[in-house]
Structure 1
Amino acid sequence: MSFSLSTMFRPLTRAVTYTRWLHQLIASVAGTLAGFVHGGTFRSTGMEVWLWIAVLPVPVLLAAALIPAVRRVEGLQAQLLLTPGPHGPEERAGTGISTSPSLSWRDRGRTAGWLLLRLAVGVPVSALTVQLPVLSFAFLQAAAGHRTHFRGLPAIDAPHGWYALLVPLPLVVLLAVAVWAGSLMAAAAGRLLGPSAAERLAVLEARTERILEHNRLAQELHDSIGHALTVTVLQAGAARAAGSPEFTDRALAAVEETGRQALTDLERALRLLREDVPHPAARPVLADAERLLESARAAGSTVRAELSGPLAALPGPVSREGYRMVQEALTNVLRHAGPVPVSVRIAADADALELEVRNPMPASPAPAAVGRGLRGLRERAVLLGGKAVAGPDEDGEWRVHARLPLARLR
């Protein structure tokens, strides 16, 4: 019994019950205003007044539904008053109620249906909210031995003490109707004010874009941090083996520079993930490729570089992704082959950008293209409409080659 009573009275302890009740009362405001404009409405008696309030605003509501912004206003009001809990951006997005303006005639039709439903439910609830407490007061008066006759209610000409038993009944009915009607309107809001097919598609596309962006950031962090750690490990090992203070100083300087760049990349990625910074730090481009080459040289590799073409004029996406591809190729050289001679060619012309990194094969070569880095390198090339290959060539060297088309990006 205690469980049943607690379940029965639980809605009365929730704030959303009363905000939903308020939402229903607001629906009768349009009818009340229309009644003042339509002379003689409030000179009617009994239920006629409420019938006028329910009928008079219908043409106005149908016309209002044609205005795109009305759907936004109704959605915001429904989110605020019909849904429980906090109302921050994330919570509002999870209510299933849209706050976008009408984009199609279907949206306008659903908005019209919502406004008419609000009126059809709100006016009876408003009428009961006014009349049922008055009826309880009439029963109380009759229980006290007074004859009662309130407007819109039948007269009680034979007062008696037993009317006291009926005093709470109208209030219980009112609360039950308010809770039921509030639940009905909350469910209807999800159907009539829910996102349209176009809005759901836009949300899906935005979510997909965020996932792709996060994957891209993860790949960038893998490339940048992996390169920095590889250089740091090699520098530390070389400095310890050399036993030269001068070499150790150079190694520490290289570690410091590489670590600083990795921290910059990490901070930029975290700023993007937080989505609260409109202008994140600039990403490195191929015009900064000399920094990569110096980092590899500092790790002990002999780097022969050939840079040609207008690298500074490359389209932003190609230049940024090209930088990461060269960085990943050099990282793989240092990680798998050590400080060996490396040949780097970066060539740009009007049609394409070509990247090539070659190095002698290590004594125990790793399986081709099994790591995340080389897989990411291929993915970057494909996204830009190009192609990347990695593997041993006919000269017995490991070769990473990528070609990225430029003509369609200019």
Structure 2
Amino acid sequence: MPSSLPAVLRPLFRAVTYTRWLHLLLASVAGILTGFFHYETFRTGGWMPWLWFAVLPAPLLVLAALIPVVRRVEGLQAQLLLAPGPHGRTARAASGIATTPSGSWRERGRTAVWLLMRLEVGVALSALTVQLPMLAGAFTMAAAGHRTHLKGLPAIEAPHWWYGLLAPLPLVLLAAVAVGAGALTAGAARLLLGPSAAERLAGLESRTERMLEHNRLAQELHDAIGHALTVTVVQAGAARAAGSPEFTERALAAIEDTGRQALTDLERALRLLREDAPRPADRPTLTDAERLLESARAAGSTVRAELSGPLEALPGPVSREGYRMVQEALTNVLRHAGPVPVSVRLAAGADALELEVCNPLPGMAAEPGSGGRCPGRGLRGIRERAALLGGEAETGPDGGEWRVRARLPLRQLRDSP
């Protein structure tokens, strides 16, 4: 699209303008088909048939909205014709239009409103698409000196050349209405066909799982490939320095085995990174927190736990990531402070999940990877997990203790519209 065009003309050079136009024209097909059952309307001509087209199909569309799959069909059509840009999987997911069948009466009601709105706007735009070019043609004929009297339009009994100045106006009006109606319909599709709270929660869960899995795979690849390259470089240098055929043979065998294992790790990671890869197995949640506490106790720590609130009712992403955050915190305690007393608090409230892990500070503060100015990967991962869910996490010394505290909001997941 030429960038030098004025902003008012740019929509006319966008493909989405015409796909939206087509989407609305298709909406009038139901009205035209039902209009055949009222044949008298066609004999009157003019604007009267369009009024019937906008009224007759309404009861049928309301009944159709009760069928769950209709919402899926309308969502797919809206994504393809109303959403601008590429139509890949990621782009369709970002369009804000759902493609799942109706799962509740609320969704059926929204689908019914969508069908009726699309019918009325589509019939109105279809009428203008037919009538306004005819009006432009009438003005052109009048400018050429011909009297015109098209059915449904005012008669021009006194043709004159200046009618030629009016000829472009109906077409300009049609283009403006088409662009505006298309934008309005696209916005209405996101509102009426958008994902429900349950669907948004499922989408958030899927994105969280995918992002965390990708981050985990990136770390594993870093470790595996880095290890393989290190072994390869060391073995190759040693073989060259040794000058022994026997040692060189062993070094080459080690390089071969290491490289083969690295290729296996790489192939496994690439399979999981593909969009059509199977979802990872079920992950533990905070209902399994006792497993973590027992593991810490088995390592020699004295664990004092305080669990409150309905942990089993937490949304999936929050419960799973909360489990991993507690796991990371306990792992850091054992790694940097050893088997010391640990206090764990989990509180599930109406608005947020609060978790806290505390242990005595001596012995841990001196570790470079334990936090402070040089935070370790585990503690940084806790903050990243909290931020991913819209929460916050703090790690560091507090009154002679090392404290990991996080707050994960729940209301936006449970009550999102």
Deviations 1:119-154 (A, max 9, x none): 121111111111111112222222333322211112
* Partner Cα distance (2:273, 2:44) in 1: 63
- Tell me the CA shift for residue 93 of structure 1: 2.0
* 2-structure distance, mates of 1:148, 1:53: 27
Distance 2:210 2:150 in 1: 63
Amino acid at match of 2:96: G
Task: Give distance in 2, aligned partners of 1:77 and 1:195.
Answer: 15
Is the aligned partner of 1:133 residue 2:133?
yes
Corresponding position of 2:149: 149
How many angstroms does 1:112 deviate by? 1.0
Partner of 2:194: 194
Residues 233 and 148 (structure 1), Cα distance of their counterparts in 2 relative to 1, 3 Å cut: closer
Distance 2:143 2:227 in 1: 88
Change (3 A) 1:156 1:245: closer
> 1:3-402 residue pairs with structure 2 within 5 A?
6-225=6-225, 227-228=227-228, 245-275=245-275
The 1:206/1:155 distance shift into structure 2, 3 A limit, reads same
Find the aligned partners of 1:69 and 1:257 in 2 and give their Cα distance. 53
Identify unmatched segments of 5+ residues in structure 1.
Answer: 281-365, 380-410
Q: Displacement of 1:43 after TM fit?
A: 2.5
Offset, 1:228: 4.0
Compute the displacement of 1:53 (Å). 0.5
| Structure 1 contact 128–174 (Cα < 8 Å) conserved | yes
- Cα distance change on mapping 1:247 and 1:110 into 2, 3 Å: same
What TM-score does the superposition give when structure 1 sets the normalisation length? 0.62
Paired with 1:9 and 1:220, the residues of 2 have a C-alpha distance of 51
The structure-2 alpha-carbon separation of the partners of 1:233 and 1:141, relative to structure 1 and needing over 3 Å to count, comes to closer
Residue 161 of structure 1 aligns to a residue whose secondary structure is coil
C-alpha separation between the residues in 2 aligned to 1:374 and 1:136? 70
For residues 262 and 15 of structure 2, the distance between their equivalents in structure 1, rounded to whole angstroms, comes to 50
* Alpha-carbon distance, 1:165 to partner: 2.2
Give percent identity, aligned residues only.
73
TM-score (norm 2): 0.61
Residue 211 of structure 2 aligns to which amino acid in structure 1? Answer: I
* AA partner of residue 23 (structure 2): H
The 8 Å contact of residues 223 and 373 in structure 1, kept in 2 or not, is answered as no
For structure 2, the 5+ residue unaligned runs are 281-365, 383-417
Measure the CA separation in 2 of the matches of 1:266 and 1:159. 78
Q: Equivalents in 2 of 1:71, 1:192: separation in Å?
A: 10
Contact 1:76 1:99 in 2 (8 A): yes
Matched-pair contact (CA < 8 Å) for 2:25–2:125: yes
Task: Tell me the equivalent position of 1:360.
Answer: none
RMSD (CA atoms): 3.4
User: The residue matched to 1:119 in structure 2 has which SS?
Assistant: helix
CA contact (8 A) 1:17 1:179 kept: yes
- Are the structure 2 counterparts of residues 61 and 251 from structure 1 closer, same or farther at C-alpha, using a change threshold of 3 Å? same
Task: Give the superposition deviation at 1:373.
Answer: 10
Query: Offset at 1:243?
Result: 7.0
- Structure 2 distance, partners of 1:97, 1:228, is 45
Count matched residues: 291
Q: Secondary structure at the match of 2:8?
A: helix
Structure 1 CA distance for aligned equivalents of residues 219 and 114 of structure 2: 47
TM-superposed deviation, 1:245: 4.7
